[in-house]
A = this chain, B = another copy of it.
Amino acid sequence: MRISELATESGVPVHTLKYYLREGLLMPGLAQSRTRADYGPEHLDRVRLVRALVEHGGVGIAGVHRIVEALDSPPPSPHEVLGVAHGALVGATEEDAPEPDADVREFVARLGWGVEDCQPIVQLLADAVLRARAAGIPLPDEDLERYALAMRAAAEVDLEVAGRARSTEEAMRIVVLGTVLVDPVLLALRRLAQTAESAARI
């Protein structure tokens, strides 16, 4: 398809597509002439990925670059792509990181998940926990642990979804996009669950 059709299919304007091309976020189409190139379904997938990361994930251009590079030259395991994606996403949300908190790091180690060295995410967790505690939400370790188990159940679904993909490339795309786009699904479900749980306790 031509770039104008790619714009129609993806809902992203031509001038934005040209910007993605210049930035190297979208791979060039197959040249048909000096001024015309042909784009396929892989370009459409890529445009949707970039748009989702920028618009809904709040990921900056540098973060999208890192994710796109990892997808273009896949590391040996999808596990590493997850690390790259998390790093980029964390970089996008963490502007004013205070000192990391030893208590929270020890809590993560006690979980026994082997993830206490995932520095940027542990720090993201520590920031969030400290903010909640400073505002008067006690969040003792027992509560945190139960929250962690709930999110582990959600993560099982995340990884199964990726496992059902038809190719490694698709699996990685689903993991990256799912990290960004399933967050709001989970938060909406949390609010519904609070309402249900509150009604059940009256």
Contacts of A143 in B (CB 8 A): 157, 160-161
In the complex, what distance in Å separates the CA atom of A81 from the CA atom of B198? 11
Q: A157-B143, A202-B77 are in contact. Are A83 and B163 (CB under 8 A)?
A: no
| A86 touching B191, Cβ below 8 Å | yes
Instruction: Assess whether A3 is interfacial by the CB under 8 Å rule.
Output: no
Complex contact B121–A155 (CB within 8 A): no
Distance A137 CA – B170 CA, assembled complex (angstroms): 10
What interface size band does chain A fall in? 35 or more
Roughly how many angstroms separate A90 CA and B184 CA in the complex, as a whole number? 11
User: In the complex, what's the smallest C-beta–C-beta distance from A52 to chain B, in angstroms?
Assistant: 4
- Interchain CA distance A202-B75 in the complex, whole Å: 14
Give the top 6 A-B pairs by smallest Cβ distance, nearest first.
A155-B193, A113-B196, A125-B188, A128-B184, A132-B181, A150-B153
Interface residues of A (CB under 8 A from B): 45, 48-49, 51-52, 56, 77-79, 82-83, 86, 89-90, 108, 111, 113-115, 118, 121-122, 124-125, 127-129, 131-132, 134-139, 143-144, 146-161, 163, 173-175, 177-179, 181-199, 201-202
